[in-house]
Amino acid sequence: MSAHTMERRLISSGSPFEPIVGFSRAVRVGPYLAVAGTAPVAPGGGVAAPGDMYGQTRRCLEIISQAVKEAGLTLDTFHRHADKVAMANVAQLVNCLQSLFFAHEDKFCVTPTYHVFDMYSPHQGAQSVRAVFSAPVASYTRNGKPASVAGLSGSASLNGKRLIVTVTNPSMDTPRETEIVLRGAKPGTVKVTTLAAGTPSAHNSFTQPKSVAPAESTAMVRNDGTVTYRFAPASVTRLDIALA
């Protein structure tokens, strides 16, 4: 397909500034997606969460995530196409949008973003393997209109006899009971690391640095080799499967 025949799609965040200034939150052309720089604009205009770094970061991430979802992609796309990504760097580490750390004078804490980076780190240096996900879609309302996103998404990689599967459940309130079937291999033990909280708005702070932190558990392996696990709502999960 040539560039001249690729479909061009403009994606709006509903910001009142888009028609005034003349921009789109994101533009998708064929398989390519460009997301514009994002500011913490409140749904009705103005600045969201004035003076609140966490609240503004959360608002920016909501805008970016919604734009990516509306484009038909998920944040796991980068891992599912690791063979096409030569290098990726963290642009912002401390006290800013998507930062891994918060610090002020002698105070310090890690963010949920840090934990996700840490949970996904075993993919580095491993061989990407095909993973197919099937689950009911998660429905929500966007700009007053019904919308949906894949019920589960994720990626997988293999390093020797260690299979890593990372899974995101984007639903705010619905857990997913799943069966995981391996083709051409048999699972042994399955260690599970889950990042979730009692409410999607939970966050870490200097006074509560572990409000959102990974929890360890295990998954059941049936006699036929099927792995079963219940993915919590609004969660990121890593399954570390030792192959028999």
Q: What is the pLDDT of residue 88?
A: 67
- The answer to whether 78 touches 89, Cβ cutoff 8 Å, is no
Q: Which domain holds residue 60?
A: 8-73
| Residue range 98-107, pLDDT digits in tens | 789 999 999 9
In a shared domain, residues 219 and 154: yes
Q: What is the pLDDT of residue 12?
A: 87
Give φ, ψ of 79 to 5 degrees: -75, -35
**Structure tokens of 64?**
């970016």
Q: Is residue 81 part of a domain?
A: no
76 pLDDT more than 60: yes
In a shared domain, residues 117 and 67: no
What does DSSP assign to residue 232? Answer: P
**pLDDT band for position 4 (cuts 50, 70, 90):** low
- When divided into structural domains, the chain yields a total of 2
Helix (H, G, I), strand (E, B) or coil at 158: strand
Q: Is residue 147 part of a domain?
A: yes
In a shared domain, residues 125 and 195: yes
In a shared domain, residues 62 and 139: no
CATH number of the CATH domain containing 155: 2.60.40.1180
| Residue range 35-60, pLDDT digits in tens | 877 888 888 788 998 988 778 887 88
Q: Is residue 84 part of a domain?
A: no
What own/partner pairs with CB < 8 Å and gap ≥ 24 does 35-40 have? 35/64, 35/67, 35/68, 38/63, 38/64, 38/97
In a shared domain, residues 49 and 140: no
In a shared domain, residues 121 and 195: yes
Of 47, 73, 99, which residue constitutes the final position of a domain?
A: 73
First-last CA distance in the chain: 43
In a shared domain, residues 126 and 176: yes
123 pLDDT more than 80: yes
Q: State how far the Cα of 49 lies from the Cα of 158, in Å rounded to an integer.
A: 42
